[in-house]
Amino acid sequence: MIINDFIKKPKISIIITYHNLGKYIKDCVLSILEQTYENYEIIIVNDFSDIENSKILDEIQNDKIKKISLNENKGQLIAFLEGLKISSGEFICMIDADDILLPNHLKALLCAHLNTNHALISCACGEINEFGEVTSLNYINNPIKKKNNISKNEIEDIFNTKETFNIKPVKEAFGLWGWNPSSSAMFRKEALEILKFYPNKEFWKTGADKVIFSLLHLIGGSANIDYIGFLYRHHDNNASSTGVSTGNKRHLSESYIKKLISWNKQLRLDSYKMLIKNKKEIIEKYNKFYYLKILFKIIFSINIKLCAKAFKTFAHKLINF
């Protein structure tokens, strides 16, 4: 008997939360079906899309795909958790229906997970516009910046820019954002169990990655890899639209800054309530020392960057008053 007879490759569950994005969903699913890593399943959660967009989902058929339809628009976080309930993979991806995965996306993230012990791994990304045209392979907000030297391989094939990549642990305080958007990540399923304690899930109609990434980073650590695994699509209906990009600066709109502040306040309040209300269960799952450690991080971490953005917004208001 050879070793491959009794060692299995981990299964990955890919959860797509879907609400009226029929214009892009087929391309997203096709990019997943072309992955070089083959042990995965796709779970599409239809978060009460309209009739036309639901019909588009009916056209997408494959043995790897499972579908769930919700009877009301419950929002991104609840939709993700509904998909998680029927998932069978040891690793979980949360893919936005308008993004495109590059062929080695799953393989790179899984490789990073199997060589670390983090709860969350996030990869780098490029950008496309609403028509699918590539606008950048060096996303402005990538936590790990690409080096300026361009290899011959990058010139020959812009969509497979690396054969090797670096892993960099994230050291941001609780509440700070230190990753790329939703589709960048792969989670350890066991770490996601913390979400069952989280209150006020219905608040997170959008921005669910803020909750999931922050909590997993808090309890199990996270890391970024400088491998471009997917293409983030910019269009008019992005939940986290960041406004115009000029040179190497992305200018956040005032409304989005307000949303970030609101999310951060809600995340801290809900996380604190979660720990207090479920103290016994969480201590049993982890231990008392670990419980106190994460409670301390929630209470005493200060989001300096977000405070600075808030100050700029309010200063702008005063100037134009």
The SS3 call for residue 69 is strand
What ranges do the domains of the chain cover?
9-238, 257-319
CA distance 228 to 231: 8
Do residues 228 and 125 lie in contact, with contact meaning Cβ atoms separated by under 8 Å? yes
Q: Which residues pair with 127 in a beta bridge?
A: 136, 232
288-300 helix and 254-277 helix, angle to the nearest 10 degrees: 150
Q: What percent of the chain has pLDDT over 70?
A: 82
Neighbouring residues of 96: CB distance < 8 A, sequence distance ≥ 6: 16, 17, 28, 181, 182, 183, 233
- Predicted confidence band of residue 53 (pLDDT cuts 50, 70, 90): very high
pLDDT tens sequence across 235-287:
876 655 555 455 555 556 777 778 888 998 899 999 999 999 999 999 999 99
Looking up tokens 């009739």 gives 51
Q: Can you tell me the mean pLDDT for 16-35?
A: 95
Range in 71-75, 163-167, 187-191, 195-199 with the lowest mean pLDDT: 163-167
The CA–CA distances, whole Å, from 206 to 2, 80, 260, 267 equal 48, 11, 11, 13
Q: State the pLDDT at residue 156.
A: 55
55 alpha-carbon distance from chain centroid? 26
pLDDT tens sequence across 122-152:
999 999 999 999 888 878 788 887 665 555 5
CA distance 50 to 73: 10
210 pLDDT above the threshold of 80: yes
Range in 53-67, 76-90, 218-232, 301-315 with the lowest mean pLDDT: 301-315
Q: State the pLDDT at residue 88.
A: 98
Query: Which H or E run includes 316?
Result: helix 304-319
Q: Can you tell me the mean pLDDT for 309-318?
A: 59
- Predicted confidence band of residue 317 (pLDDT cuts 50, 70, 90): low
Q: State the pLDDT at residue 255.
A: 77
Q: Can you tell me the mean pLDDT for 289-316?
A: 74
71 pLDDT above the threshold of 80: yes
Do residues 37 and 106 lie in contact, with contact meaning Cβ atoms separated by under 8 Å? yes
The CA–CA distances, whole Å, from 136 to 77, 133, 225, 247 equal 29, 9, 18, 12
Q: What is the pTM of this model?
A: 0.88
CA distance 219 to 293: 9
Q: Can you tell me the mean pLDDT for 91-118?
A: 96
Q: Can you tell me the mean pLDDT for 97-113?
A: 96
Q: State the pLDDT at residue 279.
A: 96
Nearest to 260 by CA among 210, 321, 226: 210
Q: Can you tell me the mean pLDDT for 291-302?
A: 88
9-238 architecture in CATH? Alpha-Beta Complex (3.90)
306 pLDDT above the threshold of 60: no
**Two structure tokens written together for 123:** 């990869």
CA distance 266 to 39: 37
